[in-house]
Amino acid sequence: MIPRRPGQPTLLIHDGSPGLGGSITSVGALAPFLGRAGWRVEVAAFQPDGWAQERIAPHLLPGQGDRITGAGYFAREVLRARDLARLCRQLRPDVLLANNGPAANLSTHLAGWTLHLPVLQYVRGPFWESEVSARALRAAAGVFTVGDECSRQVVKVSGVAPEQVEEGLDPSRWPTMRRAGARGFLWNSSLVAWKGLPLLLEAYGSMGVPSPGLEVCYAPFPPGHPEAIVPPSKLPAGVTAHPAPPDLDAIRARSLVYLHTAQRPEPFGRSLLEAMAAGLCPIVPEAGTPGRLVRNGENGLTYSPGSLEGLRRAMRIAASDPELCERLGARAEAEARAYRSELVFQPILQALERLHPARTVPDLPGPLEVAHGR
């Protein structure tokens, strides 16, 4: 057990993601919200890239290898737990938040058990099902899921009834609204196989109608990751690739249409929400939360998941009718306003209040104040 820090309570968010992507941007919205609510927020991670764009300087810990199964995985998580426990003894947090899933965050739970610290588990996507994952979920002080599929998996594996939350956007960093007259297409996702980049490029290259330019922004994954793909060496005419662009907000603002091509149901799709908030017309598969957020012909266009012809048809409509896309994008932007961080992250704040109730919470929203690691 470690002594508590007097005064302002501290939350340590542990991010175990192997690459750039939604977990980092999620912390970028959650941390400022909790900071405004009176919590000191610290972040621990082993991936240094991507955090600067979220205005967060994490405490960097050794990665301890990239094995995701077998004895190598358990050795990795034990070593990460040791490193995380050492950091906890310096920062003296009141609560730990595991930001990925019970398998990727086993080290968070091991550190919490060792130091008698409560652990909240945030499950943002599918996770490896095992008895170890089940025990971590059952021991957590609270479990939060994004999307129906994650909730069902948590119940199936552990019997724990999670609290479902949505992803949120920080009002102080709302995406820039698309420029008047914007016409381009945008794809923005992690470079993993099931995100559907090959499907997108095939559809774009065979549209058969005059098409606006396509900007492909991607977050690379480590080469050893089993689902990572390499960037394509040849791109169709009109396509520009941007690996981990620091100016993503500007690229998005000069686009009119956002293309979402995940080939399995996504729990949420944070890049989709950011595009909607910027007034882009979304084209999404009719599956997962993206299929729930976007209603065909009302605030975007939809197609059957994995359908090359369906995706190509929607892209043709968007290319030939920019005025329609502008109307759909305006409605998408109105929909995105319901996903402000102070609205969707309340369940996590309430769980923290239960774990550390003896303090006064200021009115929300207040000044943006998030503690950065040093």
What confidence tens digit (pLDDT) does each residue in 109-124 have? 999 999 999 999 999 8
Looking at residue 223, its pLDDT comes to: 65
Please report, for residues 187, 198, 283, the alpha-carbon distance to residue 306 in angstroms, rounded to integers and kept in the order given.
Answer: 16, 11, 13
Q: Decide if domain 172-337 falls under CATH 1.10.3720.10.
A: no
183-227: pLDDT as tens digits: 999 999 988 888 999 999 999 999 988 889 999 999 877 666 667
31-40, 244-253, 284-293, 299-308: range with lowest mean pLDDT: 284-293
Closest CA to 13 of 86, 121, 102: 121
> What residue spans in the chain does CATH classification 3.40.50.2000 cover?
10-168+341-355, 172-337
- Over residues 324-334, mean pLDDT: 98
64-68, 115-119, 274-278, 318-322: range with lowest mean pLDDT: 64-68
Instruction: Tell me phi and psi for residue 177, to 5 degrees.
Output: -65, 140
3-class DSSP string for 247-258: CHHHHHHCEEEE
Looking at residue 194, its pLDDT comes to: 86
Angle between helices 131-139 and 106-115 (to 10 degrees): 50
What is the chain's mean pLDDT, rounded? 87
| Chain Cα centroid distance, residue 273 | 10
pLDDT at 358 exceeding the cut of 70: no
Burial class (CB in 10 A: 0-12, 13-18, 19+), 361: middle
Closest CA to 185 of 231, 251, 229: 251
C-alpha to C-alpha distance for 177 and 329, rounded to whole angstroms: 10
C-alpha to C-alpha distance for 258 and 212, rounded to whole angstroms: 12
141-179: pLDDT as tens digits: 999 998 888 899 999 999 999 999 988 999 989 999 999
C-alpha distance across the termini of the chain, in Å: 23
CATH code for the structural domain at 10-168+341-355 = 3.40.50.2000
Helices (H) and strands (E) in the chain, counts: 13, 13
Closest CA to 348 of 165, 139, 119, 167: 165
121-140: pLDDT as tens digits: 999 888 888 999 999 999 99
Looking at residue 19, its pLDDT comes to: 59
Looking at residue 374, its pLDDT comes to: 32
Report yes or no: 213 and 239 within 8 Å, Cβ to Cβ.
yes
Looking at residue 66, its pLDDT comes to: 67
pLDDT at 368 exceeding the cut of 50: no
pLDDT at 53 exceeding the cut of 90: no
